[in-house]
Amino acid sequence: MTSEAISTVEAYLKAFGTRDVEPILSHFAPAATWTIPGDPALTPWAGSRTGPEEIRQSLTAFFAAVEPLAFELGTLVESDGRVLAPGRYASRFHPSGQVFESEMILRFTVTDGLITDYRVFEDSLGITRTHLGEQTLPQERTTPMTTWTSDELDRVANADELEMAPLRRDGTLRKPVPIWVVRDGDDLYVRSFRGTDGGWWRTARASHAGHVRSGGVDKDVTFAEVPDPGTNDRVDAAYRTKYGRFGGAYVDPMVAARETTLRLVPR
């Protein structure tokens, strides 16, 4: 039997597919909160909103900029009124005209048949770059929301380990596990020592969201996959340089696990 919370989310998703704002808003409580990762100065639909009027502004901006091309919804999972909706999509972003494909997870909190909180977990940096047509971010914004500060990069890069807690499908965080982390330029990367069989990596790969802690830095993050061979070559070198003192028995498996490379994007 389908729960009330899942039925509410299914009705919302059906309304969202029509791109008709009023039916969409009818599924939200008067004081509902709405959070999409990103910098609203760069992607106008992003940020935190409260109440129907602010949510309307986000929806209007989103529908004006994003042309849906494909959407595949996974199995909805519900626990105590919280529903997770994993999925994969492809969209064309305007004005750039570029297409972005990614996985995401939507998290809903439902009370008495109305959505009281809505949060999106996705690759906000990739979306921003696609929306802007790979333009350089405005120079006056020296620290966009989707980048690490110089201090954060230094502190994490100088730490031997990072505590990794990926988001599970039920909306809770997996128990943190210590892993290695490396820096390449202004980005931070992790890999799975056990390759694609690593438990934390499989959870991170499914949700693309989680929480990390290292060197006194405590952050919610999005996990972005890294298929680029050149980037992976540099990550290989970073692992050898930073952790070579531990010997090949530990470093070689990390170099071999290129397909598990994830970039940590702060939220």
User: Is the CATH code 2.30.110.10 the one for domain 150-266?
Assistant: yes
Say whether pLDDT at 81 is over 70.
yes
Which positions ≥6 away from 68 have C-beta within 8 Å?
89, 90, 91
Mean pLDDT, residues 2-31:
95
Mean pLDDT, residues 19-31:
96
Say whether pLDDT at 144 is over 80.
no
CA separation for the pair 205, 166 (Å, rounded): 9
> Percent of the chain having pLDDT more than 90?
71
Q: With cut-offs at 50, 70 and 90, classify the pLDDT of residue 134.
A: low
Q: Which residue has the tokens 């333009």?
A: 135
pLDDT the model gives residue 1: 55
Say whether pLDDT at 184 is over 80.
yes
Mean pLDDT, residues 130-155:
67
Residue 197 three-state SS: helix
Mean pLDDT, residues 180-199:
96
> pLDDT tens digits for 228-245?
899 999 999 999 999 999
Mean pLDDT, residues 90-115:
92
Residue 28 three-state SS: strand
> pLDDT tens digits for 50-68?
999 999 999 999 999 999 9
Single pTM value for the model: 0.54
| 7 backbone dihedrals φ, ψ, rounded to 5° | -60, -40
Average pLDDT along the chain: 90
pLDDT the model gives residue 143: 36
Structure tokens at 82: 């919280």
Alpha helices in the chain (DSSP H): 4-18, 21-25, 51-65, 124-131, 150-158, 199-207, 229-243, 248-256
Q: Give me the residue spans of the domains in the chain.
A: 4-131, 150-266
Q: In whole angstroms, how far apart are CA 168 and each of 81, 198, 210?
A: 16, 14, 8
Q: Tell me the CATH number of domain 4-131, given options 3.20.20.70, 3.40.1190.20, 3.10.450.50, 3.40.50.720.
A: 3.10.450.50
Q: With cut-offs at 50, 70 and 90, classify the pLDDT of residue 139.
A: very low
Beta-sheet strand order (sheet of 217-225): 177-179, 162-166, 209-214, 217-225, 262-266, 187-190, 182-184
